[in-house]
C-alpha cells in the first residue's frame, strides 16, 4: 500500500520525507508492528536514537521488509542520534558504529547530535550517568570536535546528511562558522503551543530544515505535570477538528507542514498511525492557520531541567 508523501529539500541537495514515525519510548514487538505498519502505509522516514534503546528492532523490520521486496533502501530515510555521553570525537564515531550495527545498515540518511549538553562517558555504555547526588553527571565537550567527527563520518558515507537536535541559534552558529559541511537539519520540540519563532527564522536564513518532535504536544510523555495543558484538547484545535472533519492530531500536523516543518508523530496505534499520514491532500485556510498561530508560547513539554546546570545551557534562550 502506498500513500501520498511530501518532501523537504535540504541545503545539501537531498530530500527528507516531511512526515516520519517517531519511536521515542517505543520498544519490543509493539515497536516492530508499528514500524512495519507505517512502512506498509507509505511512511518513508523512521526516526530513532542510540539512547532510545530500540535501534535493533527498527533495523530488523527494515531489513526484513527490504529482503521481502516490500521496500527499497534507496526510498527509505533513517535518522539516528549520537547521545550526550558520546560527544568526544572518538566516542561520537563509536556511537555511530554501534547504531549502524544495530540498525543493520551501512549508512543512515541523517545523523544528529542529540543534545548539546555533554555528559561524562564512563566507558561502560552508561548514557545517563549520575553523580553521588543522583544528578546527571555533566561534562563540557567541544561541539566543534563533535562536528569534526560528524564531517568525517559524512565523508565515509556513514551518514548522507548531518545535523543537530535541541540546539539554540548561538550553538548552531558556532558550528556553522567553522563547519566544512553545514548542518542540514535541526530537530526540535515544536507544536502549536511552542512554535519556536526565533529558531524558525534563524534556520530559514540558512536553509536548515526543521523537524518537529512532539508535534502533538507529547500526549504519551510519562512525566507530564498535571497542570500542563493538553494540546490535543485545546478548544480551538477541537473546533477546527469538528469543522474540517479531521482529528485534532491531523489539524496540528497540517499546521506545522504549512509552517514548512517536517513532523515526527509517535504512535503504536494503527488507526492513529494511518491518520497521521492523511495530512497532505488538504490544508487549513489562511484564517484558521492564523488562529493556531495565536496559541503560541503556552507550554513546553521537554524542559531538560538537568541541563540547566551545564555550561552549554543558555539561560537567556528557553529553547
Amino acid 315: pLDDT: 56
Amino acid 319: pLDDT: 43
Residue 144 clears pLDDT 90, i.e. is over it: yes
Residue 316 clears pLDDT 80, i.e. is over it: no
Does a structural domain hold residue 249? yes
Does a structural domain hold residue 2? no
User: What are the CA-CA distances from residue 234 to residues 31, 193, 238, 259, 292 (Å)?
Assistant: 28, 10, 6, 19, 10
Does a structural domain hold residue 1? no
pLDDT in tens, 289-315: 999 999 998 889 998 888 888 887 765
User: What are the CA-CA distances from residue 171 to residues 61, 89, 164, 258, 301 (Å)?
Assistant: 35, 17, 10, 26, 21
Residue 2 clears pLDDT 60, i.e. is over it: no
pLDDT in tens, 156-197: 999 999 999 999 999 999 999 999 999 999 999 999 999 999
Q: How many CB atoms lie within 10 A of CB 208?
A: 20
Amino acid 20: pLDDT: 98
The whole-angstrom separation of Cα 128 and Cα 49 is: 14
Amino acid 22: pLDDT: 98
DSSP state of 78: E
Number of H helices, E strands in the chain: 10, 10
Q: What is the CATH number of the domain that holds 236?
A: 3.20.20.100
Amino acid 318: pLDDT: 45
Amino acid 198: pLDDT: 92
Q: Sorting pLDDT into bands at 50, 70 and 90, what band is 222?
A: confident
Average pLDDT over residues 33-49: 98
Amino acid 192: pLDDT: 98
Residue 225 clears pLDDT 80, i.e. is over it: no
List active site positions. Answer: 52
Does a structural domain hold residue 315? no
The whole-angstrom separation of Cα 162 and Cα 182 is: 8
Query: What's the domain range around 87?
Result: 7-123+130-309
- Give this prediction's pTM: 0.96
Instruction: Name the average pLDDT for the chain.
Output: 95
* SS3 at position 81: strand
Does a structural domain hold residue 198? yes
State how many domains the chain has: 1
DSSP state of 266: -
Amino acid 1: pLDDT: 43
213 contact partners, CB below 8 Å, separation of at least 6: 22, 24, 47, 187, 188, 189, 190, 264
Does a structural domain hold residue 284? yes
Does a structural domain hold residue 232? yes
Residue 122 clears pLDDT 80, i.e. is over it: yes
pLDDT in tens, 79-103: 999 999 999 999 999 999 999 999 9
Cell of 232: 490535543
Tell me which residue of 5, 11, 103 sits closest to 49, measured CA to CA: 103
Average pLDDT over residues 226-242: 93
Cell of 252: 496540528
Sign of the C-alpha dihedral computed for residues 251, 254, 256 and 262 taken in this order: positive
Does a structural domain hold residue 319? no
pLDDT in tens, 66-76: 999 999 999 99
Amino acid at each position: 500500500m502506498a500513500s501520498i508523501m511530501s518532501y523537504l529539500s535540504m541545503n545539501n541537495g537531498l530530500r527528507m520525507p516531511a512526515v516520519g514515525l517517531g519511536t521515542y519510548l517505543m520498544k519490543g514487538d509493539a515497536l516492530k508492528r508499528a514500524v512495519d505498519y507505517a512502512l506498509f502505509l507509505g511512511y518513508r522516514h523512521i526516526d530513532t536514537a542510540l539512547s532510545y534503546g530500540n535501534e535493533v528492532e527498527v533495523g530488523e523490520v527494515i531489513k526484513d521488509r527490504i529482503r521481502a521486496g516490500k521496500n527499497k533502501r534507496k526510498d527509505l530515510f533513517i535518522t539516528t542520534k549520537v547521545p550526550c555521553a558520546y560527544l568526544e570525537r572518538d566516542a561520537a564515531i563509536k556511537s555511530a558504529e554501534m547504531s549502524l550495527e544495530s540498525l543493520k545498515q551501512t549508512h543512515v540518511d541523517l545523523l544528529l547530535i542529540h543534545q548539546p549538553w555533554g555528559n561524562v562517558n564512563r566507558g561502560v555504555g552508561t548514557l545517563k550517568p549520575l553523580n553521588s547526588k543522583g544528578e546527571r553527571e555533566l561534562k563540557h565537550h567541544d561541539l566543534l570536535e563533535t562536528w569534526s567527527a560528524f564531517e568525517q563520518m559524512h565523508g565515509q558515507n556513514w551518514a548522507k546528511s548531518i545535523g543537530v537536535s535541541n540546539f539554540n541559534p548561538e550553538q548552531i552558529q558556532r558550528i556553522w562558522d567553522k563547519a566544512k559541511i553545514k548542518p542540514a537539519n535541526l530537530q526540535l520540540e515544536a507544536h502549536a503551543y511552542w512554535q519556536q519563532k526565533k529558531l524558525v527564522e534563524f534556520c530559514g536564513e540558512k536553509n536548515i530544515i526543521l523537524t518537529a518532535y512532539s508535534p502533538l504536544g507529547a500526549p504519551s510523555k510519562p512525566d507530564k505535570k498535571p497542570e500542563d495543558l493538553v494540546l490535543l484538547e485545546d478548544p480551538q484545535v477541537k473546533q477546527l477538528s469538528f469543522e474540517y472533519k479531521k482529528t485534532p492530531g491531523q489539524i496540528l500536523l497540517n499546521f506545522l507542514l504549512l509552517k514548512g516543518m517536517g513532523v515526527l508523530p509517535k504512535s503504536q496505534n494503527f488507526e492513529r498511525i494511518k491518520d497521521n499520514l492523511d495530512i497532505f491532500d488538504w490544508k487549513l485556510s489562511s484564517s484558521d492557520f492564523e488562529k493556531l498561530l495565536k496559541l503560541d508560547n503556552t507550554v513546553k513539554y521537554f524542559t531538560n531541567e538537568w541541563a540547566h546546570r551545564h555550561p552549554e545551557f543558555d539561560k537567556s534562550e528557553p529553547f
